[in-house]
Chain A
Amino acid sequence: MSYLAHNTQHVPTGLRKIWYINWPLVMLISAVASAGFLMLYSVAGGSTSPWMEPQVKRFGLGMVLMFIVAMVPIWFWRNMAFVAYAVSIILLLGVEFFGEVRMGAQRWIDLKFMVLQPSELTKITVVMFIAAYYDWLPLEKTSRPLWVALPVIFILVPTMLVLKQPDLGTSLLLLFGGATVMFLAGVHWAYFATVVGAGVGAIVAVFESRGTSWQLLKDYQYRRIDTFIDPSNDPLGAGYHITQAKIALGSGGWTGRGFMQGTQSRLNFLPEKHTDFIFTTLAEEFGFVGASTLLLLYLLIVVFCIVSALGNRDRFAALLTLGIAMTFFLFFAVNMSMVMGLAPVVGVPLPLVSYGGSAMLVLLVAFGLVQSAHVHRPR
Chain B
Amino acid sequence: MKRQPKDIIASSRTISRRALVLGTSQIALMAVLGWRMRSMQVEHADEFRLLAEENRINIRLLPPARGLVFDRNGIAIADNEQNYRVVMVREDAGDVGEVLARLTEIVDIAPEDLSRAMEEMQRRSPFVPVTIAERLTWEDVAKINLNTPALPGISAEVGQSRVYPWGADLAHVVGYVGPVSDYDLSRIDDQDPLLQIPKFQIGKTGAENKLEHTLRGSAGHRRIEVNAVGRVMRELDRQEGDAGKDVQLTIDNRLQTYAQARLDGESAGVVVIDLEHGDLRAIASAPSFDPNLFVRGISVADWEGLNADKYRPLAAKAVQGTYPPGSTFKMITALAAMEDGVVTADETVYCPGHTDVYGIRFHCWKRGGHGNINLHDSLKQSCDCYYYEISQRVGIDKMAAMARKLGLGTKHDLPLSAVASGLAPDKEWKSSVRGEDWRIGDTVNASIGQGYVLASPLQLAIMTARIATGHEITPRLVRLIDGVEQPSGRGESLGLNENTLRRIRAAMTDVCNNRRGTAYGSRILAEGYEMAGKSGTSQVRRITPEERAAGVTRNEDLPWERRDHALFVSYAPLDNPRYAVAVIVEHGGGGSSAAAPIARDVILQALYGGAPPLDAYPASQRDKIDQQQRRIEARIPMGAKSQSRA
Contacts and interface: CB of A to CB of B under 8 A. Distances in A.
B503 interface: no
Contacts of A283: 37, 41
Given A3-B5, A292-B34, A249 B40 contact: yes
Contacts of B14: 184-186
Given A295-B33, A333-B30, A340-B36, A315 B227 contact: no
B56 A184 contact: no
Given A2-B3, A249-B48, A251-B52, A333 B12 contact: no
Contacts of A302: 23, 26
B44 A250 contact: yes
B55 interface: yes
B47 interface: yes
Nearest to A322: B19
B41 A263 contact: no
Contact of A247 (B27, B30, B55): B55
A268 B37 contact: no
Contact of A288 (B10, B42, B51, B52): B42
Interface in A311-367: 313, 315, 318-319, 322, 326, 329, 333, 336-337, 340, 342
A287 B48 CA distance: 12
Given A269-B55, A309-B15, A315-B15, A337 B33 contact: yes
Interface in B37-63: 37-38, 40-42, 44-45, 47-49, 51-53, 55-56
A183 B18 contact: yes
Interface string B503-545: 0000000000000000000000000000000000000000000
12 contacts: A139-B11, A186-B15, A246-B40, A249-B37, A249-B48, A250-B41, A253-B41, A263-B52, A264-B52, A269-B228, A306-B19, A309-B19
B40 A250 contact: yes
Interface residues of B, number: 46
A139 B1 CA distance: 12
A291 interface: yes
B19 A333 contact: no
A309 B11 CA distance: 12
Contact of A267 (B18, B26, B55): B55
B22 A326 contact: yes
B484 interface: no
B360 interface: no
B300 interface: no
Contact of B7 (A139, A244, A246, A292): A139
Contacts of A98: none
A150 interface: no
Contacts of B44: 250
A23 interface: no
Interface SS of chain B: helix
A90 to B, nearest CB: 27
Question: Which of A244, A247, A269, A337 gathers most chain B CB within 10 Å?
Answer: A247
Contacts of A139: 7, 10-11
Which 7 residue pairs are nearest across A and B when measured between Cβ atoms?
A250-B48, A267-B227, A253-B45, A251-B52, A288-B41, A186-B14, A268-B228
A246 B49 CA distance: 11
Given A247-B55, A306-B19, 12 more contacts: A2-B1, A3-B5, A139-B11, A184-B18, A247-B51, A252-B41, A267-B56, A292-B38, A309-B15, A337-B33, A340-B33, A340-B40
A333 B41 contact: no
B280 to A, nearest CB: 57
A184 B15 contact: yes
B52 A248 contact: yes
Interface in A288-307: 288, 291-292, 295, 298-299, 302-303, 306
A222 interface: no
A156 to B, nearest CB: 21
B16 interface: yes
B43 to A, nearest CB: 9
Question: Which of B2, B10, B11, B229 gathers most chain A CB within 10 Å?
Answer: B11
A147 interface: no
B227 A269 contact: yes
B301 interface: no
A34 interface: no
Given A248-B52, A263-B52, A313-B8, A136 B1 contact: yes
Contacts of A244: 55, 228
Contacts of B23: 302-303, 306
A299 B48 contact: no
B274 interface: no
B84 to A, nearest CB: 33
Contacts of B37: 249, 283, 288, 291-292, 295, 340
A52 B23 CA distance: 33
A324 B40 CA distance: 30
B29 interface: yes
Nearest to B33: A336
Contacts of B38: 288, 292
Contacts of A2: 1-3
A126 to B, nearest CB: 17
A254 B44 CA distance: 11
Given A3-B3, A322-B15, A267 B225 contact: yes
B40 A264 contact: no
Interface residues of A, number: 50
A132 to B, nearest CB: 11
B233 interface: yes
B226 interface: yes
A329 B4 CA distance: 33
A246 B48 contact: yes
A310 interface: yes
Nearest to A315: B11
A303 B23 CA distance: 8
Contacts of A8: none
Nearest to A136: B1
A232 interface: no
Contact of B41 (A4, A254, A269): A254
A264 B37 CA distance: 17
A246 B40 CA distance: 8
A178 B588 CA distance: 107
A319 B26 contact: no
Interface in A1-25: 2-4
Question: Which of B22, B29, B42, B56 gathers most chain A CB within 10 Å?
Answer: B22
A363 B3 CA distance: 31
Contacts of B4: 3
A180 interface: yes
Contact of B8 (A180, A186, A315, A342): A315
A313 B32 CA distance: 32
A333 B5 CA distance: 37
A46 to B, nearest CB: 14
A326 B25 CA distance: 11
B644 to A, nearest CB: 49
A263 B56 contact: yes
A180 B11 contact: no
Contacts of A4: 3
Given A185-B15, A310-B16, A250 B8 contact: no
Nearest to B14: A186
Given A267-B56, A267-B228, A254 B27 contact: no
A257 B11 CA distance: 50
A272 B32 CA distance: 24
A247 B52 contact: yes
A262 B4 CA distance: 59
Question: Which of A183, A246, A250, A302 gathers most chain B CB within 10 Å?
Answer: A250
Contacts of A264: 52, 55-56
A310 B11 contact: no
Nearest to B27: A299
A313 B12 contact: yes
Contacts of B226: 267
B22 A183 contact: yes
B30 A295 contact: yes
Nearest to A267: B227
Nearest to A284: B52
